[in-house]
Amino acid sequence: MEVIKTPLEGVVILEPRVFGDARGYFLESWSQRVFDELVGPVRFVQDNESKSCYGVVRGLHYQKPPFSQSKLVRCVRGAVLDVAVDIRRGSPTFLQHVAVELTEENHRQMFIPKGFAHGFAVLSEEAVFQYKCDEFYHPEADAGIQLFDEALGIDWRIPREEAILSEKDRIREKISLDHLDFDYLNDRF
């Protein structure tokens, strides 16, 4: 497994070794020992999977402390543009993002630690997306920020007028980043 650092401290891309032959391929998608050694100790408690069609954009989601989540994400069918945004007030990379294409062909995974909002856009006709979380989902801690806010500068590679959003994310589209209070996030991740 190779670890590729990103400009956002703690956010890394994991590239597994893939062994292919005429039968197909084999890869080790998860090893607690290898992850602890290369990234750090994280105890995942929940696995999630979503299936979406082209144009679906999910995010930018996070859970408020004390239920903040770290996630290890991957696309097992199709292709997505995966995005992590630093929401740690006081961080030198506050509101900066990293975006990486995760596909069934490249087998890459991205680790998003606590203190980051996360989202993805489906670039293929269909995508199956999996993620491991180190905290259970708590509806009362569910939060998100605007996907298309110009201050973030994210190119989702989906035209905004074609983006398919959940009702919750459509409501968040009406809230400017200026109106969100990230101060409560200080030193709590």
Q: Give the residue numbers marked as catalytic.
A: 61, 131
In 3D space, the residue among 43, 13, 48 whose CA is nearest the CA of residue 134 turns out to be 43
In 3D space, the residue among 114, 116, 38, 50 whose CA is nearest the CA of residue 78 turns out to be 50
Query: Which string of DSSP letters, residue by residue, matches 40-77?
Result: ------EEEEEEEETTBEEEEEEE-TTS---EEEEEEE
**Sign of dihedral through CA atoms 175, 142, 150, 89?**
positive
181 in helix, strand or coil?
Answer: coil
In 3D space, the residue among 69, 55, 72, 14 whose CA is nearest the CA of residue 169 turns out to be 55
